[in-house]
Each structure stands twice: as C-alpha cells, then as structure tokens.
Amino acid sequence: MTDVARSTTTQAALELAQEFIRAVEAKNFDSVAQTLSPDAHQLFMHAGRTRTAQDIANIVSSRKKGFCVADVKGKAEIMDYYSALFRKFTPLTWRDHQWTVSDNGQVFFSGNGDMLVTWNQKPYRNNYVTRFDVENGQIVNLAEYANAFMYSRLGVRPNGTEFRALLRAIGRMVNPWQSSTSGS
C-alpha cells in the first residue's frame, strides 16, 4: 500500500469513528448502526487511568492494556447495548474530544464523559479512550477503556445483552485461547 493510499484509508477510518461518536452523542440509533460491520465486536476494558496525556499515550502504544469487563459480539448485541445506553443516560456527552491515529493506523478517541443517570440524575463523569478498528468502511472492533468501577457504582442494571457480555468477559479470564487484557 502506498503512503497516499494508507493516508486516505486512515483519514476515512478517522472520519467514520468521528461519525460514530457524533451518532452516539445524538442518540441516533440508525446512524450508529450504519457505522458497524455485521460481525462487529466491542470490548469494555477496565483501565484505572485514562485521564492524562500520558495515560492516553500508554493505551495508544499498548503499554497499558486494561482488563476486559464486558465482551459484546455482533452488530445486534452492540446495538442492543447502545439502545440501553441511550435510555440510561441523558445527556450522553463527552467533553474535550481528542483524536489520535497510531503508527499502525488504529484510530483512538479520548473524551471526558459528562452524563447524568436518567432515573436518578446522578452525575457520571468517567474518562474514556476508545480504539476503533475499521475495515472496508465499517467499524469491526471497538475497545473502550475507562474506569469500570465508576460505572458499577452507579447502580445501573445491565440488560440481558450486557449481562451476557459480562459473563463472556469472565470466560476470557479462564479460556487459554482468549486474553482478558489485550483489548482484542
């Protein structure tokens, strides 16, 4: 692949990831769905530190890997997760968007959550780093790094898809073929 082709592909991946974040913040179910591959996969990785520039650089460079706490498989499950997320939080906003493209072309988003739990108005302000892997114009993998303990303290009940994703993450801990720390 030429440098020009690589640059064009990377730019398209960045634009798709940015569209995904805009669609999530707008709670636009159809637009989120359009960005995802039918066999997309999303991992939620506990990473205690995602706040500083160094924390973000450590994730982008894979020096920090996180620990898998949920493993969502397929577009249908991912969309069920986002449907629940749209109901659980209002607004659903990240502040201070930062975008990074790694040397190998992976796209990373970092932002500071500024959300309220819908049913009790409890503030939720986690810091996020999300890796997007894009192939053929669609997102095939997402790995979201954040402090999972902050989310768990909210008392927000998981739906069936989220519960299955939690069980899959537990399975990653005991399965010798899958890593609970790789983000892939």
Inter-axis angle of helices 74-88 and 160-174, nearest 10: 120
Q: What CA–CA distance (Å, rounded) separates 93 from 37?
A: 24
Domain boundaries, given as residue ranges, for the chain? 3-174
The yes/no answer on whether domain 3-174 falls in CATH 3.40.50.620 is: no
pLDDT at 4: 45
Edge to edge, the sheet with strand 127-135 lists 67-73, 36-46, 138-146, 127-135, 107-113, 94-101
Cis before 91? omega within 30: yes
Q: Decide if 107 contacts 13 (C-beta within 8 A).
A: yes
- Pairwise CA distance, residues 28 & 19, whole Å: 11
pLDDT of residue 67: 87
Q: Where are the alpha helices (DSSP H) in the chain?
A: 3-25, 29-35, 53-60, 74-88, 148-152, 160-174
Burial of 63 (0-12, 13-18, 19+ CB in 10 A): exposed
Q: Which of 68, 72, 74 is nearest to 170 (CA)?
A: 68
| Distance from the Cα of residue 141 to its chain's centroid | 9
Residue-wise pLDDT tens for the chain (184 aa)? 555 445 668 999 999 999 999 999 999 999 999 999 999 999 999 997 888 888 888 788 887 888 889 999 999 999 999 999 999 999 999 999 999 998 888 999 999 999 999 999 999 999 999 999 999 999 999 999 999 889 888 988 889 999 999 999 988 777 655 555 555 5
Cβ–Cβ under 8 Å, residues 124 and 21: no
Q: What pLDDT does residue 107 have?
A: 96
Residue-level pLDDT at 51: 81
